[in-house]
Amino acid sequence: MRTTTHDDDLPVPSAPEVLDRDRRRARPRRRRPGLRLLALLVAVLVALGTAVAAGAALWVENVARAWDSRVEVLEQPFRPEAERPAETEPGAVDVLLIGSDSRGPGGELDVEAAGATGARSDTLVLVHVSPDRRDVEVTSLMRDLWVPIPGHGEAKLNAALSWGGVPLTVATVEDLLGVRIDHVAAIDFEGFRAVTDVLGGVDVDVETPFELDGHVYPAGTAHLRGDDALTFVRARYPFADGDYTRVRNQQAFLVGVARQLVSHETLRDPARLTAFVEAVAPWVSVDSGLDLPTLVELGWSLRSVPLDHVVTGTVPTAGTATIGDQSVVLPDRAGLDAWRQHLVADGAEGAGAADAAAPTGP
């Protein structure tokens, strides 16, 4: 049995005291034209929708069978209805992506457990699709954010997975952001090894050069596979800003995966696509509503999203601090309020077009 330790995640102090803070602000949200992360992932979903439109029923059936037979389904990832945020944007879709280095075939983490799991989430990303399907936003949440965790008091955000699996993680994010999560997907970073192997490696843009555990990443384009890829997406100690660079590296890796899928025409080759899904699915857990038909429908509805309407960013933070003997990231409360208002305002503008944008079938 594989065991993961986290020597920087110490017990939560009973009377935390902020000793210092550098007021380092989060990078601002920004629009990125061109083939960026979400644009490429949208292209993947659109290609699946186009396959259905072209009548490639057998292709989709094979891929769906590969997905359904290998992916783990989370039957109860959400709290009782009365405890959840109200829906503020009819027609919008919010998907929470959870990355962990502690689950997978033979691993010890039960991601659906309502009790302690002993593992921590290394990556949390909220993908928000507007009601009119004209805007897509991907927002990263820092793993060390010091936040209230239902039933446990204040702690680092990544502790929620350790104390209560996916259900507690979803509850914590919903309370923090005031956003109702529609779907959730959890993936083990160990699966990145399988992904890069089946794709023959992935090219990533290394923004900050570094070395770690015998792996060397010079600035520029690096071809990664296996352990090189896993180390790249998990590294944070080599960087002065820690998780901030790690978040950017993880996004760069996903861009590389999407580029590889498109450039090698994996989406047009049933055998390659099936092999990719078979490699990824065993390392993924999703809620029961996030099946392949739902992904295809979402992809089809996003077929006309403008590239300059794809946004990436980070939940607003107010710098770092030491609480007890833990180094934490402080949330920017005013920034969070503004972020929520922005999201709801965008939803109100697009709600009237949601019905027209929703696909009735390819």
**Closest-CA residue to 324 (of 22, 8, 12):** 12
Mean pLDDT across the chain: 74
* Residue 330 belongs to a domain: yes
Tell me: the pLDDT tens digits for 340-351? 887 766 555 544
Tell me: the pLDDT tens digits for 45-69? 555 555 555 556 666 777 778 788 8
**Domain containing residue 131:** 27-196+244-350
* Residue 151 belongs to a domain: yes
CB 351, CB 89: distance < 8 Å: yes
More confident residue, 31 or 170: 170
Task: Report the half-sphere exposure of 187 (CA within 13 A, side-chain side).
Answer: 20
Tell me: the pLDDT tens digits for 245-285? 888 888 788 778 877 776 656 666 777 777 888 888 888 88
* Residue 70 belongs to a domain: yes
- Confidence class for position 182, pLDDT limits 50, 70, 90: very high
* Residue 331 belongs to a domain: yes
* Residue 231 belongs to a domain: no
More confident residue, 11 or 200: 200
* Residue 238 belongs to a domain: no
Domain harbouring 153, CATH code: 3.40.630.190
Rounded to whole angstroms, the Cα distance separating 160 from 121 reads 8
Percent of the chain with pLDDT over 90: 25
CB 28, CB 311: distance < 8 Å: no
Instruction: List strand residue ranges (DSSP E) for the chain, in order.
Output: 18-21, 30-31, 72-74, 93-100, 121-129, 136-141, 146-149, 153-156, 183-188, 202-206, 210-212, 215-217, 220-224, 284-287, 310-314, 317-323, 326-331
* Residue 12 belongs to a domain: no
pLDDT, mean of residues 114-127: 64
- Max Cα-Cα span within the chain: 62
CB 227, CB 220: distance < 8 Å: no
pLDDT at position 104: 41
* Residue 108 belongs to a domain: yes
DSSP state of 307: G
Helices 57-70 and 292-301: angle between axes, nearest 10 degrees: 130
pLDDT, mean of residues 27-34: 38
Split into its structural domains, the chain has a count of 1
Residue 5 has pLDDT above 60, yes or no: no
pLDDT, mean of residues 177-183: 93
CB 46, CB 259: distance < 8 Å: no
pLDDT at position 356: 33
